[in-house]
Amino acid sequence: MTMPRPVGRGAMLKTRRSVLKESVALTGAIAIPVESFSKTVPTHDKRLWYRQPAQKWVEALPVGNGRIGAMIFGGTVQERLQLNEDTLWNGGPYDPVNPQAKANLPDVRRLIFADRWAEAQALANKKVMATPLHQMNYQTVGDLLIDMPGISSGTDAYLRELDLDAAIARTRFTVNGVTFLREVVASPMDQVIAIRLSTDRPGSINCDLSLKSPQPQAHAIATRRSLILSGRNSDQEGVKGALTFVAHLEAAAVNGRIHPDGDRLSVRGADSVTLLLAMATSYRRFDDTGGNPAAIAAGQVARACGKSFDRIASDTAAAHRRLFRRIELDLGRTSAADRPTDQRIAMSESSDDPALAALYFDYGRYLLICSSRPGSQPANLQGIWNDSTNPPWGSKYTININTEMNYWPAEPLALGECVEPLIAMVRDLAVTGARTARTMYGARGWVVHHNTDLWRATAPIDGAQWGLWPTGGAWLCMHLWYHYDYGRNAEYLKSIYPLLRGACQFFLDTLMHDPRTGYLVTNPSLSPENVHPHNASICAGPTMDMQILRDLFDRTARAASILKTDSGFATRLWTTRKKLAPNKIGSEGQLQEWQFDWDAQAPEPHHRHVSHLYGLFPSDQINMEDTPKLVAAARKSLIMRGDESTGWATAWRANLWARLREGDHAHRILAFLLGPDRTYPNMFDAHPPFQIDGNFGGTRAIAEMLIQARDDHIRLLPALPRIWPRGSISGLRAPGRTRIDLSWGAGQLIEAHLTSDLPGMRTVWLGDHRVEVQLSPDRTARLRGPQLVEV
């Protein structure tokens, strides 16, 4: 992000305040339409709305611009905006590789091949795992509190809403005949959170503003119209805190008076108030914390204060809609959609409310846009929204499923730009992961295990039973490929090829021959977070590893062929791929999770992870056309695992059943996911507690029911549930820059339109019907159902 050139602080404050006062004069109560105060229900369906303020964090409503975010509670006596900035994490740059790891790995491998798994795990815990054993935590900046003296808790006509289309949160309520309106946006252009307070009666806004933070040494200073909160991050696990941070609030009022009151700002007798809030840390890169957050935040406020709130809000809506309006889904509407959102969720499993699934779908797209934009950090376990200094699982990047699931919707739902932060993180991980590959394994290339953080730590953490899994980076590489496959940009492919190649190099150096079978396997490894019957997780060659490496080697070799480079390396990848341990079908008819037939004896038969089914989804190695026996085995594994699990694991199951083309089964799982056990009142996914990957996985599951694509093959309505007999969707994407619009009725395709600016043949399927269509920039393919006839 390019920042304005710093200027002298005194001159900057004078300009900022005077311009802000002039801009706020454009946003007074007289400019607000009277009808906006009389609304008691939302005007369109792309909204979350409620009749009461949030009492809990999982009832508050999120706004975000990718880098900064807020959770808005909508209180009357006190409004709370809980604040986040995506680079405020604990600790600082560090290298967690255990110096004893390299010397002890041979013994761990020997014990595994000798079937002494518990001994191998104990040795790994003692001599191989990272030091420190845990990574750093994502943090909250704190809270902006807006206290409203003189307002009682009793209100009339209360409405709290989040407009997903305009990316704005609003709270309306009436007290003693005066109607109050609060509006909040997170601007991606101006990099501020902008808040406007207004009423329908001039001079009736009185409020006290304060910034609070749980961070060490944090303190706020009030000046004439500014509040500046500054502090440092915490040490963690012996890693010294290296970041400073600033939250800078600027206030301006139409009429009335603003004055500092200790560490607060007080506003009295105003017609309206506009607040601009910027946040920044000293983070520059995983190895550079030399930024100046005070100058950054001050510059952002200075730039934003030249605009009115209406301009900031309209610019925010326009930028958001450029992404959000690419897709339009209609699954039908019943009277259930007229209820407040929390009531719809509470009643979802017993009511006919197809529009709730469409709202969930739209909300997933909204959350991805708001938590992952070019220049930001990737979406973590909670996106960017976290109210704790010790969040669940550190709110880190768990890359044995959760981070990948965050980005499952991105490419098919036309949000390729939102993947850019993930790509940037992989570029960083290739640097830190090369150090880990070299010093821990004595290998070339790069490796990441099951977690990483802001500092791009890559060593195995959390204990050998969780973290000694070396294929996290390999899985992330698949998202680099998906981004290419959907966009088919050769320059981009050229830029990521070294990352793909480096990930392959690590495994070429570390794969081992299984002495029982002669196949190549990873060792040590594990099937993510699951325990096998021998009192350990650690093993050699779990099914998921083999599937991921088949994909990694295949896509890297294909990239080399497309780029007409590295043919010798590509040949070695193809040769090595054939030597990887194959999928196996066990005695129960299931797809084996391990090299041994342990599934039926595993201690957790309904374990949340279904890692061995990666080959079915998100991969397509296991598919009905090419591997029907493996499809049947994967289906058996799904039945053994059960349908209901944690939030994100439920979402994965919905995708898997959709990939099996069993739409009614997928929908039953989706209905559970959208119900009160797995969805909070604000529609956040309930692991529990909150994890955002369930939202993104559920969003992808809905898309997966409507279209499935691999390479240049597209399958229409492959898992349409009977409960959605009619509907339409426009703007879906398939590889090769292909756009697909669909409409259906009575459970049958009515019409599909396919367009692409990339010429080429696409093979389209509808059930058993197949047609090949030639796409070009000036030609739309129109297909009619139910026979899939081109017209």
The whole-angstrom separation of Cα 609 and Cα 532 is 13
Using left for φ > 0, alpha for ψ between -120 and 50, and beta otherwise, residue 445 falls in: left
125-135 exposure pattern, b = at least 16 Cβ within 10 A, e = fewer:
bebbbbbbbbb
Distance between CA atoms of residues 64 and 563, nearest Å: 38
- Rounded to an integer, what distance in angstroms lies between the CA atom of residue 140 and that of residue 231? 12
| Residue-wise pLDDT tens digits, 56-65 | 999 999 999 9
More confident: 30 or 51 = 51
Closest-CA residue to 85 (of 211, 169, 226, 222)? 211
What's the CA gap between 312 and 301, in Å, rounded?
Answer: 12
Grouping H, G, I as helix, E, B as strand and the rest as coil, residue 743 is: strand
Q: What is the pLDDT of residues 280-328, one digit of tens each?
A: 999 999 999 999 999 999 999 999 999 999 999 999 999 999 999 999 9
- CB neighbours of residue 424 within 10 Å: 15
Whether residue 588 has pLDDT greater than 70? yes
| Per-residue pLDDT at 309 | 98
Cα distance between residue 45 and residue 337, in whole Å: 8
Average pLDDT in the 102-127 region?
A: 98
Backbone angles phi, psi at 345, to 5 degrees: -65, -45
**Token reading at 149:** 């003296």
Q: What is the pLDDT of residues 696-755, one digit of tens each?
A: 999 999 999 999 999 999 999 999 999 999 999 999 999 999 999 999 999 999 999 999
Q: 460 pLDDT exceeds 50?
A: yes
Mean of pLDDT values over 519-529 = 98
Instruction: Give the alpha-carbon dihedral of 337, 340, 341, 344, to 10 degrees.
Output: -60
**Torsion from C-alpha of 28, 34, 36, 39, nearest 10 degrees:** 150
Q: What is the mean pLDDT of residues 441-468?
A: 98
What is the average per-residue pLDDT within 615-634? 97
pTM of the model: 0.94
Strands 525-526, 520-521: pairing kind: unpaired
Tens digits of residue pLDDT in 7-22: 222 333 333 334 334 3
Residue 234 is which amino acid?
Answer: S
With a cut of 50, say whether residue 31 has pLDDT above it.
no
Q: What is the pLDDT of residues 234-287, one digit of tens each?
A: 999 999 999 999 999 999 999 999 999 999 999 999 999 999 999 999 999 999
Residue 569 in contact with residue 560, Cβ under 8 Å? Answer: yes
pLDDT of residue 349: 85
* pLDDT tens digit sequence for 130-161: 999 999 999 999 999 999 998 876 678 899 99
Burial of 315 (0-12, 13-18, 19+ CB in 10 A): middle
Q: How far is CA 524 from CA 99, 411, 514, in A?
A: 17, 33, 12
Q: Which helix (H) or strand (E) holds 324?
A: helix 309-324
Quick check: bond before 392 cis, omega within 30? no
Could you please report the per-residue DSSP string of 286-312? Answer: TTB----HHHHHHHHHHHHTTS-HHHH
Q: What was the pLDDT predicted at 19?
A: 36
Using alpha carbons, list the distances in angstroms from residue 551 to 490, 557, 573, 658, 701: 20, 10, 11, 21, 21
What is the spatial distance between Cα 279 and Cα 702, in angstroms, rounded to a whole number?
Answer: 35
Task: Give me the sheet containing 781-784, strands edge to edge.
Answer: 328-330, 727-734, 738-745, 748-756, 781-784, 789-790
Residue/partner pairs of 595-604 with CB below 8 Å, 24 or more apart: 595/514, 595/517, 595/521, 595/539, 595/540, 595/541, 595/542, 595/543, 596/532, 598/532, 598/533, 598/534, 599/637, 599/640, 600/640, 601/533, 602/530, 602/531, 602/532, 602/533, 603/531, 603/533, 604/530, 604/531
According to DSSP, the β-strands at 205-212 and 538-539 are: unpaired
- Cis amide prior to 340 (ω within 30 degrees): no
181 within 8 A of 172, measured Cβ to Cβ: yes
* Residue 571 clears pLDDT 70, i.e. is over it: yes
User: What is the spatial distance between Cα 172 and Cα 183, in angstroms, rounded to a whole number?
Assistant: 9
Question: Smallest Cα–Cα separation from 505: which of 429, 573, 427, 580?
Answer: 573
User: For residue 147, what are its two tokens?
Assistant: 């206290």
Domain ranges across the chain: 10-90+139-324, 727-790
Q: What is the pLDDT of residue 18?
A: 41
What is the C-alpha separation between 72 and 275, in angstroms, rounded? 14
**Structure tokens given for 475:** 């899985």
Q: Could you tell me which of 586, 648, 630, 113 has the C-alpha nearest to residue 400?
A: 648
**Of 536, 632, 621, the residue nearest 580 (C-alpha):** 621
Find how far residue 339's CA is from the centre of its chain: 28
The pair of three-digit structure tokens given for residue 486, joined into one six-digit string? 């959907």
* Confidence class for position 23, pLDDT limits 50, 70, 90: very low
At residue 338, what is the residue type?
A: D
- Amino acid found at 365: R
Helix boundaries (H) for 72-160: 101-113, 117-127
Q: Which two tokens stand for residue 212?
A: 């609070």
User: For residue 563, what is the enclosing H or E element?
Assistant: helix 543-563
CA distance 643 to 640: 9
Integer Cα distance of 178 and 404 in angstroms: 48
Residue pair 637/661 in contact (Cβ under 8 Å)? The answer is no
- Whole-number Cα distances in Å, 456 to 102, 173, 384, 445: 20, 45, 17, 16
The whole-angstrom separation of Cα 382 and Cα 394 is: 10
**CA 128, CA 125: separation in Å to the nearest integer?**
6
Cα(86)–Cα(517) distance, integer angstroms: 47
Q: How far apart are CA 47 and CA 42, in angstroms?
A: 7
Tell me the average pLDDT of the chain: 94
394, 363, 519, 437: which is closest to 105 by C-alpha? Answer: 437
Contact 614, 638 (CB under 8 A): no
Closest CA to 200 of 74, 38, 331, 313: 38
Q: What is the pLDDT of residue 152?
A: 76
User: In the predicted model, is pLDDT for residue 358 greater than 60?
Assistant: yes
23 vs 278, residue with greater confidence: 278
Catalogue the E-assigned strands of 548-589.
Answer: none
Q: Which CATH architecture has domain 10-90+139-324?
A: Distorted Sandwich (2.70)
